[in-house]
Amino acid sequence: MFFGGGFRLGKIFGIEINIDYSWFIIFFLVTWSLAFGLFPFAFPQLGVTLNFILGVITSVLFFVSALIHEIAHSLMARASGVAINKITLFLFGGAAQLTDEPPSAGAEFKMAIVGPLSSLALAIIFGLLAFGANFQNIGLPFVAVTSTLAVINFWLGIFNLLPGYPLDGGRVLRAIIWHYNKNLERATRYASYAGDLLAAILVVIGVYELIVGGFVGGLWLILIGFFLFQAAESSYRQVKVREELEEAEVKDLMSDQAIQVSPAMSVEELVNNYFWRSKSRSLPVVEGEEMLGIVKLEDVEKHPQRNWQDLKVQDVMVREVQEVSPSEKASAAFRKINHSGEDRLPVVKEKRFLGFISLNDISYYLTLKKKKRLSR
Ligand SMILES: [Zn+2]
């Protein structure tokens, strides 16, 4: 549930840290419930102002704790060879953005478990600080902050260990199933069933809480339940799509492109007779059998219209073009298109232009496959 939008906080260990705007909701709620709920009740002698300040400090340190949890995931991922570009903190905690699925069940297990373990380690550290301070008679405000953080981190660790995918515990479960059945897609399916079940249990407990009068707690559980349900579904779908594209080759998905242009053609003719007619923004430049490059409308538009008559296609075309081969896996082409920033890439075999493959082709293929499956 990314609400879109947020800002960049900075970089740690080369990983970009982002904060989604929705995260401010949780920051506000945590600060509010600590400053006006828990602290005045537990430490009335500290007074309203001090309790408010302590609430803010605890919230900030809670934020740092959540960040440490995500960084632990990221560093372990990097050690396993999975690139992590950024971490986004949002409404329900954080998410480290993986560029790919983990390479093995063992790697996934380590990457998943290290997050909750770091939260539990933080719980122990804050707990010891609170205990030591209490013992030494160091100020009550210090005890208030550290003991609260010990409790929050403890529950953060425990909640994330619940075995519903895509929670960390669900990833651990997926890694274990994957280890035994050697099938990532099916392991993900079972782990997301566990995620659905866990989501349903949270909603049922939430409704029960509502009925017996725990309004805020109940609503919170229901919200987390729905979020988890949606996350389980969409995470499974992602793996499913990747798996289906793993089975197909570029030549099964690509579109033939009849319209090609020659390098000696004038840009004026290119625009009048080819761009407008083909409704495409880029066309292959072919001489004989060989593809020389791609000519793009945006490059043509850089030149004033009065020059179009004298300019030739070869003057404005791009020669260094990322291409895919027809026997390449569709999943690899999908990744290449996403990284290229283009909406389609040329399919080329031994310098011969065969057609284009676009994100549209890929989604059309997936839809068709789904229809076939349903009608069977
Ligand atoms: Zn985690």
pLDDT per position as a tens digit, 308-326: 888 888 888 888 888 899 8
Distance 69 CA to ligand 1 centre (A): 6
| Nearest-angstrom CA–CA distance, 133 and 119 | 21
With a CB cutoff of 8 Å and minimum separation 6, the contacts of 128 are none
How far is CA 244 from its chain centroid? 19
3-state secondary structure of 16: strand
Q: How far is ligand 1, taken at its centre, from the CA of residue 112, in Å?
A: 7
Beta strands (DSSP E) in the chain are: 6-12, 15-20, 84-90, 93-98, 282-287, 290-296, 344-349, 352-358
pLDDT of the residue at 207: 94
Pick the catalytic residue: 70, 108, 209, 342?
Answer: 70
Lowest average pLDDT, out of 101-110, 132-141, 319-328, goes to: 132-141
Q: How many angstroms is it from 230 CA to the middle of ligand 1? A: 17
Would you place residue 98 in the very low, low, confident or very high pLDDT band (cuts 50, 70, 90)?
low
- Measured in Å, residue 178 CA sits from the centre of ligand 1 at 19
Q: Position 350: which residue type?
A: E
Residue type, 280: S
Q: What is the mean pLDDT of the chain?
A: 85
Average pLDDT over residues 242-246: 81
Q: How confident is the model over 140-160, as a mean pLDDT?
A: 91
Q: Is it true that domain 251-375 has CATH number 3.40.80.10? A: no
Total Cβ atoms within 10 A of residue 200? 14
Contact 316, 267 (CB under 8 A): yes
CA distance 25 to 227: 15
Ligand 1 center–CA 338 separation, angstroms: 26
pLDDT band at 269 (very low <50, low <70, confident <90, very high): confident
The closest alpha carbon to 244, from 368, 120, 60, belongs to 368
Position 100 scores a pLDDT of 63
Domain with CATH 3.10.580.10 in the chain: 251-375
Q: Which is more confident, 195 or 366?
A: 195
Give pLDDT tens digits for 279-294: 778 888 998 878 888 8
- Please confirm, yes or no, whether 70 is among the known catalytic residues: yes
pLDDT at 141 over 50: yes
Cα Rg of the chain (Å, integer): 28
Q: What's the gap in Å between 160 CA and the centre of ligand 1?
A: 6
Return the SS3 of 84.
strand
- Nearest-10 Cα torsion for 187, 83, 2, 110: 40
Structure tokens at 346: 């040329």
Q: Which pLDDT belongs to residue 2?
A: 42
SS3 261: strand
pLDDT for the residue 97: 58
Per-residue pLDDT, 1:
37
pLDDT digits (tens, 9 = 90+) for 162-194: 998 888 999 999 999 999 988 888 898 899 899
* pLDDT at residue number 3: 43
How much is the pLDDT for 91? Answer: 63
3-state secondary structure of 149: helix
Q: What is the pLDDT of residue 95?
A: 61
Determine the distance from the C-alpha atom of residue 299 to the mean position of all C-alpha atoms in its chain, rounded to a whole number: 33
Average pLDDT over residues 268-272: 87
- Of 187, 186, 196, 192, nearest to 166 by C-alpha is 192
